[in-house]
Amino acid sequence: MTSARPARKLAVLACMDVRLDPAALLSLEPGDAHVIRNAGGIVSDDAIRSLAISQHELGTEEIVVIQHTDCGLLKLDNDAFSAKLERHAGEQPAWHAHAFDDLDEHLRESVQHLRDSPFILHKNVRGYVFEVESGQLREVS
C-alpha cells in the first residue's frame, strides 16, 4: 500500500463501541477507506473536519455513517454528564456529549447534517444501524 488515498473512495464515520467493527461489517481491507470513530458516531465539527479533508484532499466520494443499538449515548443524560465532569474537573466541558433518544431519527438527522454541510464536497451519504443483538447492518433511509 503506497497511497494515502482510499482505494474505494469511501469514508466511514462510526461509533467507537468495541462491538462494532466497521472494516468487518463493510468487508474493508487496509487501504480501502478512511474510518473516523467517536462516541456515538456523532457528526461533530471535528468529524466534519476529518471528512472534508478526506474528500477535498484525499479523494473520497462516499460517506457511510454507522451507529448502533444499545449505544451508551441512548442512555446518557447530557446535563447530568456535564455536571459530573464539572464536579471532576472544576469546570464544564466546552463540548457536548450529544446524547439522543431515538436511534433511527438521530441517524437520519446525522446523514442530513452531512448532506447540508457546505464543507462536504460529495453528498453521497448513507446511514446504517448496526444491530448489536443480531450482528446485522440495516440501512436507514
Q: What is the CATH number of domain 1-20+39-69+120-129?
A: 3.40.1050.10
Cα separation, 96 vs 109, in Å, equals 17
Task: Name the residue ranges covered by the structural domains of the chain.
Answer: 1-20+39-69+120-129
Answering whether pTM is above 0.75, one says yes
Nearest Cα to Cα of residue 6 among 63, 89, 48: 63
Sequence-ordered list of residues with C-beta below 8 angstroms from that of 13, at least 6 positions apart, any chain: 36, 37, 38, 41, 43, 47, 51, 63, 64, 65, 66, 114
**pLDDT tens for each residue of 105-134:** 999 999 999 999 999 999 999 999 999 999
pLDDT of residue 4: 85
Q: Percentage of the chain with pLDDT > 70? A: 99
The pLDDT of residue 2 is above 80: no
- Asked whether the predicted pLDDT for residue 17 surpasses 60, the reply is yes
Q: Would the pLDDT of 140 be above 90?
A: yes
- 106 Cβ contact list (under 8 Å, min separation 6): 67, 100
Element holding 45 (H helix, E strand)? helix 45-58
Q: Which helix (H) or strand (E) holds 67?
A: strand 62-68
Q: What is the pLDDT of residues 30-40, one digit of tens each?
A: 999 999 999 99
DSSP secondary structure letters along 117-135: -TT-S--EEEEEEEETTTT
